[in-house]
Amino acid sequence: MTSTPIFDDVSVEEIIRNTIAFVKDELKDAEGGHDWFHIERVYKNSMLISEGEKVDKIVVALGALLHDIADSKFHNGDDTVGPKRASEFLKTQNVAEEIIEHVVKIIENVSFSGGNKTQKFTSQELEVVQDADRLDALGAIGIARAFNYGGFKNRKLYDPEITPKLNMSPSEYKASNAPTINHFYEKLLLLKDRMNTETGRKIAEERHVFMETFLEQFYAEWNGEK
């Protein structure tokens, strides 16, 4: 996908190329909101956000590319599969041990999971990847992804009788079967205040406004007002 190399170092470029091929293959049957194109957007946004931050771009790139190879949502809640596969892959690429460890920590800690879990690790590289991943949950793409995921899980679009639940524990959040509109209140609209970087926050605010407009229109149509 990238014709312009991001890294001057030829061997790093090769690792990135191999990682892209590996991730594309791992995600060939993925749900539409968590497929290669999600990764590609998160990768590009991570590189964009990195411009304004003091980070190791190799760690950011590998973290972004590998962050969703085995999402626990699609592995019966097992959140050890992704980090393990990523680490095994990076070893085949002779990536330095400390980089592998950092990338694994990014994969383990990037997820929102209801927003109420205590994050055990932080680094600027994680903050960049987390912002890029969160941006993809917002705006037009965020809306499309939410409804695709809801459809994938056979959830209702909306049910006025089922109200959103804030402050869910990570396990409650994972087990929730609520209509997709609830996800806006349980996650998507909370994200703009949780961004880590300036660049991320600015883009998030614009996408947030777009989602609010969408919701207003949605309720107006639901109630036959428009």
Binding site for ligand ADP (CB under 6 A): 33, 71, 73, 111-113, 137, 142, 145-146, 149-150, 176, 180, 183, 187
Report the candidate in 40, 46, 82, 41 with the shortest Cα–Cα distance to residue 61.
46
Contact region with Ni ion (CB under 5 A), list: 6-14, 20-28, 114-122, 133-141: 133-141
- Shortest distance in whole angstroms from residue 9 CB to ligand ADP: 31
- Return the DSSP state at 133: H
135, 207 contact by CB (below 8 A)? yes
DSSP state of 28: T
Token digits of residue 85 = 């596969």
The interface partner of residue 137, options being ligand ADP, Ni ion, none and the CB cut-off 5 to 8 Å by kind, is: ligand ADP
26 binds Ni ion (CB under 5 A): no
Supply the DSSP string of 195-210, one letter for each residue.
Answer: --SHHHHHHHHHHHHH
Nearest-approach distance from CB 126 to ligand ADP, in angstroms? 13
Angle at 73 between CA 160 and CA 42, to 5 degrees: 95
Q: Minimum distance from CB of 30 to Ni ion (Å)?
A: 11
User: Six-digit token pair at 150?
Assistant: 């809801």
CB closer to Ni ion out of 45 and 182 = 45
Which residue's CB is nearer to Ni ion, number 68 or number 186? 68
User: What are the E-state strand segments in 77-168?
Assistant: none
Candidates 55-63, 132-140, 172-180, 194-202; binding stretch for Ni ion (CB under 5 A): 132-140
**Contacts (CB under 5 A) with Ni ion, residues 145-164:** none
